[in-house]
């Protein structure tokens, strides 16, 4: 369940390592991390409670391997790639609807899906296709609208709906403009603005959303190897660096790779050595920073309290060989994971379940649909501070 990087992805990284430039801004807060502080913890030191939410199972609702999960407005939107189906469950795991009846080649259907998003301003589910179309449905997959993106870019692999028909678009990693963000107006059918992120160390992935909206602010965290996090002004695409990871002498520098002549040699070096800490995926706001950091073949979870600059680096697995699952989301001091029932006992401590959770666990079957696990962070223990409102 750990995130894994392929060798191909490392080849993508190298080009950007060779050409990136580090921003300098007085607004950037440097986050000083001693990478050698990675430590194994007892899971009870990190979490105070675990909730289990089984996703409804029936012969008509079988999910299999999940590829993407969005949790918003008290609903889970789950995408399964092998059959291209989106299934929606409520906060308690009860089935609401799925997209099986709108998969096809008809004018109101989709046949490919590059990414999906929830449009907070309309309540619609929106699907980005390989034809640069955005198809919109309501929560029961009743067709609403289709728009075609007018752009010379041959493929976008992520998008974020704003209001008034505007979108943030992220070009494919195979495009020359892979390190850009486009502000697109679907009503005017034009790109209003482009901005380039010069210091991305690896390209966006199609399965993660780098934009987070909270407290009337848009936070941008490039997916992949980058030491920076931003606040983004969606009106003019101004990127303001608001944090920078600083691992001291362990930081990656372009000069380190200059000793290698070809991109392949540089990629092989990165893939083989792994002697530098690499923040793979980060999320943050004004109170807390969370990041999955890869270092020397380990995957550590960084929890950083911006109120007092205290942090921990959680090594995997926990003590007693309790596995650390992939957390697909963090919200209000809760880590969210989605795992198969047969794997659940390897990822939890029974002492963190209440009576309801123990009863759910007892009745689970190995071939049931995956379950949502909610790990409630013991913030006071973790960073020795009062729990912020996240």
pTM of the predicted structure, to 2 decimals? 0.82
How does DSSP classify residue 254? H
The predicted pLDDT at position 356 comes to 95
CA dihedral 304, 305, 310, 315 (to 10 degrees): -30
The predicted pLDDT at position 388 comes to 41
Residue with tokens 């920078």: 244
How far is Cα 158 from Cα 283, in angstroms, rounded to an integer? 17
Domain boundaries, given as residue ranges, for the chain: 7-67+149-383
How far is Cα 84 from Cα 65, in angstroms, rounded to an integer? 11
Handedness of CA 198, 203, 206, 209 (dihedral sign): negative
* Cα 146 to Cα 108, 143, 348, distances in angstroms: 8, 9, 43
Per-residue pLDDT of the chain (390 residues), as tens digits, is 444 444 444 444 443 333 333 444 445 668 889 988 898 999 999 999 999 999 998 877 777 777 788 888 889 999 888 888 999 999 999 999 999 999 999 999 999 888 899 998 899 999 999 999 999 999 999 999 999 999 999 899 899 999 889 999 998 877 778 778 999 999 999 999 999 876 444 443 444 678 888 878 888 887 655 678 888 999 999 988 888 888 888 777 667 767 777 656 665 666 565 677 877 778 887 778 888 888 877 788 998 888 788 899 999 899 989 998 888 888 878 899 999 999 999 999 999 999 999 999 999 998 899 999 999 988 776 666 444 444
The answer to whether the CB of 242 falls within 8 A of the CB of 251 is no
How far is Cα 247 from Cα 294, in angstroms, rounded to an integer? 12
Handedness of CA 129, 135, 141, 143 (dihedral sign): negative
Q: Is the peptide bond before 265 cis (omega within 30 degrees of 0)?
A: no
Handedness of CA 226, 232, 234, 238 (dihedral sign): negative
Strands 238-246 and 29-32: parallel
* DSSP sequence for 5-53: --HHHHHHHHHHHHH------TTPEEEE--GGGEE---HHHHEEEEEEE
- The angle subtended at Cα 204 by Cα 202 and Cα 205, nearest 5°, is 115
Tokens of 204: 């966006």
């Amino acid at each position: 369940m750990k995130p894994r990087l392929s060798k191909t992805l490392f080849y993508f990284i190298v080009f950007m390592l060779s050409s990136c430039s580090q921003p300098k801004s007085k607004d950037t807060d440097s986050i000083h991390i001693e990478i050698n502080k990675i430590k194994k913890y007892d899971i009870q030191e990190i979490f105070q409670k675990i909730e289990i939410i089984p996703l409804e199972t029936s012969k008509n609702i079988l999910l299999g391997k999940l590829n993407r999960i969005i949790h918003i407005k008290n609903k889970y939107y789950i995408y399964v790639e092998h059959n291209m189906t989106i299934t929606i469950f409520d906060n308690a795991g009860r089935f609401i609807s799925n997209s099986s009846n709108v998969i096809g080649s008809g004018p109101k259907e989709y046949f490919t899906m590059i990414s999906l998003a929830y449009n907070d301003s309309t309540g619609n589910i929106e699907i980005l296709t390989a034809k640069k179309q955005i198809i919109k449905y309501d929560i029961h997959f009743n067709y609403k609208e289709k728009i075609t993106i007018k752009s010379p870019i041959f493929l976008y692999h992520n998008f974020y709906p704003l209001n008034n028909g505007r979108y943030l678009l992220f070009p494919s990693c195979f495009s020359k403009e892979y390190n850009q963000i486009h502000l697109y107006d679907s009503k005017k059918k034009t790109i209003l603005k482009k901005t380039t992120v010069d210091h991305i160390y690896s390209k966006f992935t199609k399965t993660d959303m780098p934009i987070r909206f909270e407290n009337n602010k848009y936070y941008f965290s490039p997916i992949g190897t980058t030491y920076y996090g931003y606040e983004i002004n969606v009106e003019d695409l101004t990127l303001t660096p608001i944090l920078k990871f600083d691992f001291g002498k362990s930081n990656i520098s372009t000069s380190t790779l200059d000793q290698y002549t070809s991109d392949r040699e540089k990629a092989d070096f990165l893939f083989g050595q792994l002697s530098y800490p690499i923040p793979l995926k980060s999320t943050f706001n004004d109170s807390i920073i969370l990041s999955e950091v890869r270092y020397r073949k380990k995957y550590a979870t960084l929890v950083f309290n911006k109120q007092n600059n205290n942090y921990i680096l959680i090594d995997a697995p926990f003590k007693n060989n309790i596995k650390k699952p992939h957390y697909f989301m963090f919200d209000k001091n809760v880590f969210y994971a989605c795992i198969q029932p047969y794997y659940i006992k390897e990822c939890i401590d029974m002492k963190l379940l209440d009576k309801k959770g123990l009863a759910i666990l007892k009745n689970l079957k190995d071939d049931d649909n995956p379950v949502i696990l909610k790990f409630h962070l013991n913030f006071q223990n973790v960073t020795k501070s009062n729990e912020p409102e996240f």
